C-alpha cells in the first residue's frame, strides 16, 4: 500500500503488508504536520504487521518534540509486531534526541498503565502499608505525650492564644450543629423505644425516660460529640497542617529551630481536650431535652421524666461518659494532626490527608468506645 505526499511535510509512506515496510519522511516534522499526518503514517504500519520497518529520514529538514514522538511510535509499532524499525539518514543533530527519548522496552508506552500486580503482592503491600501507618501513629503518640508533658512543665511557653482560638473553633462554633444532632438523636431514641415498650403494658412507655438518660449520658452523648469533632475538628487540623507541609512551612519551622509538634500540635491537642468535654455536656442536655419532647407527647409530665431520670443515672454515668469524651478528644486531635504531618506532595495530597483523618478518627473512636465499654462492664460501672 502506498500513500503519497502532503505539501512540504511528511512526503511518502510505503508499506508492503506481511513482508517489509518502508516509510519515507521529509520536510518539517513539527506539531502541525505530524498532527495532520499521524494517522496516515501510523495506521498502515499497525495494520500491515510488517516484519521490519525501514524509516528514511534523509529528507527531514526540521524535527521538534512531535516529530521525535512520531519516530518513537514507529519503533514501538514495529516492536509490538515482532519486528524492528531502523532509522537512517536522520541529521546528526537530531539523532541524539531520538535516542534520548527511546524507552528501554519499546513495546511499552510511558503513558500505558502498569500491569496489575499479583494478589499476594497486593496483599503484602497493603499489610506493609498498614503496619507502617500503625508504627507512625505509635511514634507520633509518643511525641505528643512527651510534648504535653513539656507543656505541663513549661506552661508559659505554650501558645495560649492559639489554644483559645482553636477552642473557639472546635467548641463554640460547633454548638449549632451539636444542638441539632443532639435534639434529633434524643427524639429518635425516644420514638424508637416507646413503641416496643408499649408491648409490655399500657404504662411501660414510662421507661423511655430511663433509656434516654442512660443511653445519652453513657454512650450517645460522647459518641455523637466525638464523631462530630472528627468531621469538623480532625479534618480541619489535617487540612491546616497538611497545607503547611505542602508549602514547606513545617520545614521552615524546623530550620528556625522550632519543633512543629510543640509549636503547632500541642495547642491544638490541648484546646480539643479541654473544650470537647464541655461540648459533650451540652450535647447531653440537648439530647435529653429532645427525648423529653417526645416523652411529653406521650402524656407524661416533666416531674415524671425528672424523677425517672434521677432514679436510673448518677454521677458515675456522667463521669464515665466524660472520661470517654477525653479519650475521644485526644484521638480526634492527634489523628488529625498526624495525618497532616505525613501529607505527601501533589495537588490532591491535602484532600487525601483530610479524608484519611476523618475515616481513621471515626474508626479509632468506635474501637476505643468498644474497649471502654468492655472495661466498664468488667468493672461493673
Q: 2-101 has which fold? A: Transcription Regulator spoIIAA (3.30.750)
Sequence-distant (≥ 6) Cβ neighbours of residue 201 within 8 angstroms: none
% pLDDT > 70, the chain? 88
Higher per-residue pLDDT: 100 or 303: 303
Number of neighbouring beta carbons within 10 Å of residue 108: 14
In 3D, which of 67, 256, 283, 97 has the Cα closest to residue 183?
Answer: 283
Higher per-residue pLDDT: 95 or 136: 136
Question: Grid coordinates representing 172?
Answer: 463554640
**Helix 175-198 × helix 266-297 angle, to 10°:** 40
Average pLDDT over residues 224-228: 94
Question: Grid coordinates representing 64?
Answer: 521538534
Q: What is the pLDDT of residue 13?
A: 47
Instruction: Return phi, psi of residue 24, to 5°.
Output: -110, 120
Note the Cα 367 to chain centre separation in Å: 20
Locus of grid cell 519516530:
71
How many CA atoms lie within 13 Å of 178's alpha carbon, on the beta-carbon side?
A: 31
pLDDT tens-digit readout, 173-192: 999 999 999 999 999 988 88
Question: Grid coordinates representing 173?
Answer: 462554633
Question: Grid coordinates representing 275?
Answer: 473544650
Q: What is the pLDDT of residue 278?
A: 93
User: Quick one: DSSP state of residue 156?
Assistant: G
pLDDT tens-digit readout, 61-79: 777 777 777 777 777 777 7
Identify the band that residue 98 occupies on the pLDDT scale cut at 50, 70 and 90: confident
Angstrom distance (rounded) from CA 233 to CA 229: 5
- Residue 379 host element (H or E): helix 349-379
Sequence-distant (≥ 6) Cβ neighbours of residue 16 within 8 angstroms: 22, 48, 50
Mean pLDDT of the chain: 82
Sequence-distant (≥ 6) Cβ neighbours of residue 246 within 8 angstroms: 343, 345, 349, 350
Angstrom distance (rounded) from CA 179 to CA 185: 10
pLDDT tens-digit readout, 148-157: 888 888 888 8
pLDDT tens-digit readout, 189-216: 888 888 888 777 656 678 888 889 899 9
Domain segments of the chain: what residues? 2-101, 130-379
The pTM of this model reads: 0.70
- Residue 27 host element (H or E): strand 20-29
What is the length of the chain? Answer: 381
Locus of grid cell 500500500:
1
Question: Grid coordinates representing 234?
Answer: 480532625
pLDDT exceeds 90 at position 342: no
Amino acid at each position: 500500500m502506498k500513500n503519497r505526499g502532503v505539501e512540504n511535510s511528511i512526503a511518502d509512506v510505503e508499506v508492503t503488508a506481511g513482508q517489509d515496510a518502508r516509510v519515507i519522511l521529509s520536510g518539517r516534522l513539527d506539531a502541525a504536520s505530524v498532527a495532520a499526518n499521524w494517522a496516515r503514517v501510523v495506521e498502515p504500519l499497525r495494520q500491515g504487521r510488517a516484519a521490519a520497518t525501514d524509516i528514511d529520514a534523509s529528507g527531514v529538514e526540521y524535527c521538534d518534540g512531535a516529530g521525535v514522538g512520531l519516530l518513537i511510535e514507529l519503533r514501538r509499532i514495529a516492536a509490538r509486531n515482532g519486528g524492528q524499525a531502523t532509522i537512517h539518514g536522520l541529521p546528526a543533530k537530531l539523532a541524539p534526541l531520538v535516542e534520548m527519548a527511546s524507552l528501554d522496552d519499546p513495546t511499552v508506552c510511558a503513558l500505558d498503565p502498569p500491569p496489575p500486580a499479583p494478589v499476594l503482592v497486593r496483599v503484602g503491600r497493603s499489610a506493609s502499608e498498614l503496619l507502617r501507618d500503625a508504627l507512625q501513629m505509635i511514634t507520633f503518640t509518643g511525641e505528643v505525650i512527651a510534648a504535653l508533658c513539656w507543656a505541663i512543665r513549661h506552661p508559659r511557653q505554650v501558645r495560649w492564644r492559639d489554644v483559645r482560638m482553636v477552642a473557639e473553633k472546635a467548641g463554640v462554633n460547633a454548638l449549632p450543629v451539636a444542638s441539632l444532632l443532639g435534639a434529633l438523636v434524643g427524639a429518635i431514641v425516644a420514638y424508637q423505644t416507646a413503641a416496643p415498650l408499649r408491648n409490655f403494658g399500657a404504662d411501660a412507655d414510662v421507661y423511655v425516660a430511663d433509656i434516654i438518660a442512660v443511653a445519652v449520658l453513657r454512650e450517645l452523648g460522647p459518641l455523637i460529640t466525638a464523631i462530630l469533632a472528627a468531621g469538623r475538628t480532625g479534618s480541619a487540623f489535617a487540612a491546616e497542617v497538611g497545607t503547611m507541609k505542602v508549602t514547606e512551612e513545617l520545614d521552615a519551622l524546623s530550620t528556625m529551630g522550632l519543633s512543629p509538634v510543640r509549636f503547632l500540635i500541642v495547642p491544638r491537642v490541648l484546646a480539643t481536650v479541654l473544650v470537647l468535654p464541655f461540648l459533650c455536656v451540652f450535647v447531653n442536655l440537648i439530647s435529653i431535652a429532645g427525648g423529653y419532647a417526645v416523652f411529653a407527647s406521650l402524656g407524661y409530665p416533666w416531674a415524671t421524666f425528672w424523677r425517672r431520670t434521677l432514679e436510673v443515672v448518677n454521677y458515675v454515668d456522667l463521669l464515665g461518659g466524660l472520661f470517654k469524651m477525653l479519650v475521644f478528644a485526644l484521638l480526634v486531635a492527634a489523628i488529625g494532626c498526624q495525618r497532616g504531618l505525613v501529607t505527601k506532595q501533589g495537588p490532591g495530597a491535602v484532600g487525601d490527608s483530610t479524608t484519611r483523618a476523618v475515616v481513621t478518627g471515626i474508626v479509632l473512636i468506635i474501637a476505643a468506645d468498644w474497649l471502654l465499654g468492655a472495661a466498664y462492664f468488667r468493672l461493673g460501672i
